Amino acid sequence: MFLVVTLLFSCSFILSGQAFSDDRVTSLPGLSGKLDFNMYSGYLDASPGTHLHYVFVESENDPAKDPLLLWLNGGPGCSSLLGFFTEQGPFRLNGNSSLDRNPYAWNKVANVIFLESPSGVGYSYSDSGNYTHDDDSTSLDALLAIKSWFNKFQAFKYHAFYLTGESYAGVYIPTLSVRLLEEPDINYVGFAIGNGYLDQYLLGNSMLRFAYYHGLLDSQTWNTIVSSCCNHGDESPDSCNFATNTNPKCVDIVNKANTFINKISLNPYAIYEDCKTSASSSSVMLDKKSSNHSTKVQSYRAKSGWHLIRNTINTVFHKSSHTKVNTDNEKVAGQTIPCVDDTNLINYLSRSDVRDALKIPSTLPDWTDCSETVSSNYKMQYPSLKKQVIASIKAGKRGLIYNGDTDMVCDFLGDEWFSDQLGFKQIGEYEPWYVNNQVAGFVKHYQGFAYATIRGSGHTVPEYRPAAALYMIEKFLARNKLV
């Protein structure tokens, strides 16, 4: 049986007015005990006929003074409710559909908006049913949705506002950031990007090096790669081109390495975690007529961007070979996605009582973690986000680029190279940072931003290393260095 929980009202609700009163969430199926923060779920207006779904949770600390964060999962095409229920949101879903409180939720220290973007993702929709997007249209709709949110929650107008997210949010955030530079009425302060898809070429080049130095390729293969793809056999990043090299010898050995890595069923998002393959050939079977919510769903996602493995390894890493990676397991929405099981979350968010609690129109289809319609029709416009990130930092916006160091899709090497190449002066040395007297990762500071790794974490840092993630974001918001 699911318990109905009445939410407590904070003073910030009184200050904010009534523009969002219809969005207030008064109960969540599966949750026991009272909440000590306010929660809202509803829709924000973007471009004409576009309605983006959001969930907002106030800070458990001091909502009237704490900063405001926007969280975006990636894809493109994956829902930010993944972040809400599996990463840094206030709840964690159990196998029996009960909800536990997350002791490392980011709303311990901040007010957090989770936005399902662009339309067609999760419960966001367009009146026209057209879900063709690109990077520019997505950032514009996100900006319009933010403005719509501030119209509802006017008491937060002067709060320090941050952009946060991961994976393909490495594109979403910089493109949205430069738009916010032209919005003086929004107190935009900075951004934090986790395991970001920040530079297509750099990630394409770093992936092979990551694979070799994590024991996925043998020395004979690596030596052949270096001699075939690097100038004069020089292994340095500046001399090697694994991503766009047209040398036939390089193409052949890169193909060989790629084929080996892809056929071994390794979890590319966290290489030391198991790949859940027990139902890897099963498809989503969702009985929309079921009223008892006993629907069986088999879905496997690549966290916040399943198709990045396709785009990074296949499109970038093997652009020179023109050889298609075997994508038999790369299926979405009615199909399977390798290595991570979202069955329980898909079932939970597709239930009628949960939809009612979140104010979801009954006319919308069931929730999916990642939308094949959006991803397959999405146009990627920016192979590198250096220009946008540099402009944001030069405008005085504080930055944090962080990477779980066991993720091979958006690996730490490529994002560290990206950070180095932005051209800002490094301040101090590369050094460890600690949580509970243990090494949590490593960090180096630049003028205006920091680059950090999280030791032992996969693609979704708040999921794999929640204590370190909360410590890191709290330090960042407080304008304190990790060390």
What secondary structure letter does DSSP report for 326?
Answer: P
Residue 77's region, left for phi above 0, alpha for psi from -120 to 50, else beta, is left
149: which 2 tokens?
């949110």
Of 66, 407, 411, 415, the active-site residue reads 407
- Side-chain half-sphere CA neighbours of 337 within 13 A: 29
Q: How many CB atoms lie within 10 A of CB 33?
A: 10
437: which 2 tokens?
């007297």
CA distance 303 to 275: 12
Contact present, 141 and 117 (Cβ < 8 Å): yes
Buried b (16+ CB within 10 A) or exposed e, 181-219: beeeebbbbbbbbbbbbbbbbbbbbbbbbbbbeeebbee
Q: Which residues contact 160 (CB under 8 A, 6 or more apart)?
A: 67, 68, 187, 189, 477
Angle at 272 between CA 266 and CA 276, to 5 degrees: 50
- DSSP-assigned letters across all residues of 390-456: HHHHHTT-EEEEEEETT-SSS-HHHHHHHHHTT-PPEEEEEEEEEETTEEEEEEEEETTEEEEEETT
Contact present, 75 and 305 (Cβ < 8 Å): yes
CA distance between the termini of the chain? 47
To the query of whether residue 407 is one of the catalytic residues in this protein, the response is: yes
To the query of whether residue 459 is one of the catalytic residues in this protein, the response is: yes
Of 167, 321, 419, 457, the active-site residue reads 167
Identity (one letter) of the amino acid at 454?
I
Q: How many CB atoms lie within 10 A of CB 343?
A: 18
As annotated, the active-site residues are: 167, 407, 459
